[in-house]
Amino acid sequence: MAGFLNAVSASFVLLLLMSVGWLVGRLGWMTGQEKKFISRFIINIAVPCNCLVGILNNLKREELSQAGIMLAAAYLGVTVNMLLGFLLSKALKMPRERWGVFVCMVGLSNTLFIGIPVCKQLFGDACMGYLMIYYLANTTYVQSVAILLCERSGTAAGTRVTVGGLLRSVFTKPPIIAVIVSVCLLLLGLRPPEPIMTFADYISKTVSPLALLYCGFIIYELGLKNIRLMRGIPTMLVMRLGVAPLICWFFCHLVHMQGLALQVFVVESALPVVSQVTVMAGAYGADERYAATGATLSTLCSFVTIPILMLLLG
């Protein structure tokens, strides 16, 4: 019960922070330009600092032997979610401009903009090492399979996605580079000078509030009055917020994960639709409004489902 009450309290705090993003959009203080800056700052500067501080401060070298097993469990969970999403898209006879978006929404969670604030509120800074392991698996799919699916669903003409391009997209992302560098430093028993760690700690503390402000502004952009339960959206919500954590829990138990690592993975798998899907849908001519509706509804619904999930996790 304590975990449930803590999750309810955390969800209320996160909703308040998101409401600030909605409010500044309503007042005209924030526009698309500011949104673009916040997104770039979070992904390229704040999250890498968060990776460095989170991994070096909360993981031990001897724990890295388990990191590969944890990563495998995360990959398996995301893979099964994506496959189920594909089968459901066929069963629901999703139109071309929506089927790839639907699969991405079922399979991929918002591990950064929602995941970091939620997990920090629920588990504190100790969660960051495990969170980054799950993020690595999730974002590999976001930067590869999700791009291909949105391209296949879209109508926009342009350069075809190549394997080399996908690899560059994944391994040139600052958060991925930060995870790799942090793990290497941990393996070598090295640590940056304390002024660097202090700087990274200050910057990393901006991730949660800015990410939630960003999400709140996206909800303002879509407009609550424009949200409709389009075909496939209810099924996606059940899969994303209900079935996905069950699948993750199964694979975590299969590799004997427990304690904080298990809880972080299950919560990360139960998060709303990853926000990049909306951007990709727009870029490739897929149904951008469908993606935005799914992201918004899953974000709002997650603040009800996460406390229930915490109650079930005990």
Residue 51 tokens, joined: 């990776």
Rounded to the nearest integer, the mean pLDDT of the chain is 86
Rounded Cα gap, residues 221 and 35, in angstroms: 11
pLDDT above 70 (res 290): yes
pLDDT per residue as tens digits for the range 135-145: 888 888 887 78
Summarize the confidence of residues 57-69 as an average pLDDT.
79
pLDDT above 70 (res 157): no
| Contact assessment for residue 134 and residue 279, using Cβ atoms and an 8 Å cutoff | no
Q: How confident is the model at residue 158 (pLDDT cuts 50, 70, 90)?
A: low
pLDDT above 70 (res 161): no
At the topology level, CATH places domain 2-313 in: Na+/H+ antiporter like fold (1.20.1530)
Greater model confidence, 54 or 167: 54
Rounded Cα gap, residues 91 and 103, in angstroms: 12
**For the range 172-175, what are the long-range contacts, defined as Cβ-Cβ under 8 Å and sequence gap of 24 or more?**
173/43, 173/139, 173/143, 174/43, 174/44, 174/45, 174/47, 174/48, 175/43, 175/47, 175/48, 175/51, 175/112, 175/135, 175/139
Residue ranges of E strands in the chain: none
| Contact assessment for residue 134 and residue 265, using Cβ atoms and an 8 Å cutoff | yes
Summarize the confidence of residues 178-200 as an average pLDDT.
89
Predicted pLDDT at 81: 96
Rounded Cα gap, residues 23 and 28, in angstroms: 8
Rounded Cα gap, residues 113 and 272, in angstroms: 10
Size (the chain), residues: 314
Residues 6+ apart with CB under 8 A from 282: 288, 291
- 294 by Cβ neighbours in 10 Å (0-12 / 13-18 / 19+) ranks as buried
Domain boundaries, the chain: 2-313
Q: Where are the alpha helices (DSSP H) in 143-173?
A: 145-153, 163-171
Angle, CA of 224, 226 and 231, to the nearest 5°: 115
pLDDT per residue as tens digits for the range 72-82: 999 999 999 99
SS (H, E, C) 182-195: HHHHHHHCCCCCHH
pLDDT per residue as tens digits for the range 17-41: 889 999 999 999 999 888 889 888 9
Predicted pLDDT at 271: 93
Q: How confident is the model at residue 156 (pLDDT cuts 50, 70, 90)?
A: low
Greater model confidence, 229 or 171: 229
Summarize the confidence of residues 237-248 as an average pLDDT.
96
Predicted pLDDT at 20: 93
